[in-house]
Structure 1
């Protein structure tokens, strides 16, 4: 009981700060427009001084790590194997190839630069899978250091901005390319980074396009599992080779939770009220984690990143869009 009381006293101030930022960000987004993640990041950065306060530090760390993992695990409620099967083999292959190729491009672009391979993996995964959520999940299994935190916050900001731009531009590109409703849905779902922007873009075209875009997007979210597991194994192997003893990298149990919930959602008819509730909890957890990460980051640290990382993210985004359009035309999806 004393341990719980001490833990409560140590973490509650930081958790409350992250929670208040999350609530404010959702309010601003719903009333004035704009991406929730960007509001959470900017408000968090504005309160950066709290991360140095003894009473808030532990709670902020808890929100940016463990609360994040809970949110990612609960994303499993969005996906079912049946929805993937109904999609057909073409879009499935497109998603798998797109994810692998985009991450590979990120690694290639950062191979001979000042940025390391971890940054290439982080940006490639964020662009290819599900934007800010993927960036946060991948960050949790990469080596934990100041560069990782700075790169993560930079990636979240940039990929969210690019996703918002894509939400506006990509439907117009689909119309100019003469895509039908299903093809438009496949294109939007396979290319736009964040789930919210995919839904917004898809249903702005039509309901069928929105439904298809959402399913394709959730298939990309499902790729989070194999990608995170692969990255974790590679990082562990490198750490073992570079130092004696066991690599000090925690096992991502949240990934197993993600798998379990996908399986549950596929085998059992989970009531919409329950799945909707946990989907909302997932969203709140991730927004709170982004707010906490923002509080751990300063503008001065972000300015040190430079222009090259922006170019990497833009190149990955354009590459994924071109690849998806080419696949739709060549294979007649």
Structure 2
């Protein structure tokens, strides 16, 4: 009898390999965008404008998203969404490696108080002015977060709590870029006048760190005066960054209290639901905990202890820059220019009014609490 023929049986891909293959094209695309933005941000002619890799990544993403990406979206969509959601949260957690509790002591409690006052006043003003300008609540909150805390990174961190659409996030990031860049070049021009009021380089640095949008822009505005100004500016800015976590927790609580309905896509963190007598009461008591914000705090606490060697920390910081740039690139790919045009001039007007408050109101708060001329 002839021996039976055995045909090779193809092994189906494992459960974890299938989503990896589906996400790979989009992840590679966002990775290329992030690396290109990082390289461009290091070029001297770009660095002079204080444009970070995050800002350049979203700009590049928007350009591709409105030209060649629609033809690739079917294949790359899953990976782009993964970068926009999961990689973003990991990037925010690692962002805690940029600050330590020891930095707070270098500017004193007056510097911390100035940061708290500027954050709460700027964000509260954004919400109030947003209603006056008839801007939708999510856009006003995103612009307020970016203006009051740490620019594009704060906008990105606020998006999961609100589950806002990509075009609203892109509008908020654009306003941060415009007025943050204006501040980076404008603040050094104010330094001679501030010095005549008794604000030394250290006080000027606290003023810059408590009012300028992006970290890169803070560095530029500080170094334009002196290294002392730059050091105090960066430390004050990092304290503002540390306030991001309690801000997100408070925002999540406020959203739940008002019964705001989230977007159609699935929540990225598990909701805590308290039972109530009615469906409306249950909706108002549902709080979405931004776990990545708690991770951010834990990483900052870990960074405050002499446990992490310099080399691994530097590698993690580089990874964080890459993850955040990939998330920004993914956001840009998902943003249509028509949606930004539909937003109109009102978001820009809101950001302009907040910028005026940061410059004038921030100067007054710093003068009162920063001991200028004493």
- 1:277 Cα deviation from its structure 2 partner: 2.0
Which residue in 1 is equivalent to 2:353? 315
Alignment map for 1:147-158 (pairs within 5 Å): 148-158=165-175
**Structure 2 contact 99–300 (Cα < 8 Å) conserved:** yes
Matched, 1:108 2:120: no
Alignment map for 1:167-246 (pairs within 5 Å): 167-178=184-195, 179-237=199-257, 238-239=259-260
Q: Deviations along 1:1-40, whole A, 9 cap, x unmatched?
A: 6122111111111111111011111222222415133321
- 1:101 Cα deviation from its structure 2 partner: 0.4
Alignment map for 1:1-333 (pairs within 5 Å): 2-31=14-43, 32-33=45-46, 34=49, 35=51, 36-48=53-65, 50=69, 53-144=73-164, 148-178=165-195, 179-237=199-257, 238-239=259-260, 251-331=289-369, 332-333=371-372
Give the whole-Å Cα distance in 1 for the aligned partners of 2:294 and 2:246: 11
TM-score when normalising by structure 1: 0.93
Higher mean C-alpha displacement, 311-320 vs 261-270: 261-270
Higher mean C-alpha displacement, 117-126 vs 185-194: 117-126
Judging changes above 3 Å, is the alpha-carbon distance between structure 1 residues 242 and 94 closer, same or farther for their aligned structure 2 residues?
Answer: farther
- 1:250 Cα deviation from its structure 2 partner: 5.4
Greater Rg over alpha carbons, structure:
2
* DSSP 3-state at the match of 2:89: helix
Higher mean C-alpha displacement, 47-56 vs 122-131: 47-56
Q: Deviations along 1:107-161, whole A, 9 cap, x unmatched?
A: 10112443222222211111110000000000111034xxx32111111122012
* Structure 1 segments unaligned to the other structure (5+ residues): none
**Structure 1 contact 67–285 (Cα < 8 Å) conserved:** yes
Aligned length: 330
Give the whole-Å Cα distance in 1 for the aligned partners of 2:279 and 2:245: 26
- 1:246 Cα deviation from its structure 2 partner: 5.9
Judging changes above 3 Å, is the alpha-carbon distance between structure 1 residues 230 and 174 closer, same or farther for their aligned structure 2 residues?
Answer: same
Q: Deviations along 1:269-291, whole A, 9 cap, x unmatched?
A: 43332322222211111111111
- The Cα RMSD (Å) is 2.1
**Structure 1 contact 37–160 (Cα < 8 Å) conserved:** no
